[in-house]
Amino acid sequence: MTTQTDHAEISMLVDRFFRVLDERKFAADWTRDFLTDDARMETPLGTSQGAEAIRAAEEALERYDRTQHIASGIITDADAGAERATASWNALMTHVHHDATLQERGGDADPLFTVGGRFEADLRRTPDGWRFSRVVVRPIWTKGQPPSGVGAQS
């Protein structure tokens, strides 16, 4: 059973992670606040690890003009004092297409690509707090079209 303190810290990590993704404030070492150096990311666009995972996350976001990620129902599991934990949460991910994408698709193109899904994560306790060591994005439904060259569940 996760302690209230650990649950609160992990929940805040999720919220801060989504906020940074949406604000796109990617300082050179932005991921140190969220990910372990060997973190593994598994998304519909592929699987990557370490520095490659960071680049993949940034590149995925650049496909859109703006995004908004909303997390709810965060469930955490870690024994008191444990060095490892798991978490899962529901996510609503709204992506706003670039004007160029909309122009390419024509006047009636939907400006949004929305994904409802679930995130699953493994975490490690570090001297600086909890960090994600593995993040898995599992889409459940989509509405709208992804950018060109991306499958329907990105």
The domain that holds 97 is classified in CATH as 3.10.450.50
70 within domain boundaries: yes
154 within domain boundaries: no
Cα 24 from Cα 94, distance rounded (Å): 15
Token digits of residue 51:
């520095």
Average pLDDT score over residue span 54-59: 83
Average pLDDT score over residue span 92-105: 95
Cα–Cα distances in Å, from 118 out to 14, 15, 115? 12, 14, 10
153 within domain boundaries: no
150 within domain boundaries: no
109 within domain boundaries: yes
Token digits of residue 149:
């060259």
23 within domain boundaries: yes
151 within domain boundaries: no
Q: Is the pLDDT of residue 149 over 70?
A: no
pLDDT greater at residue 37 or residue 56 = 37
Domain count, the chain: 1
Q: Is the pTM of this model over 0.85?
A: yes
Cα 17 from Cα 75, distance rounded (Å): 16
Average pLDDT score over residue span 51-67: 87
130 within domain boundaries: yes
Q: Which residue range(s) make up the domain with 129?
A: 4-143
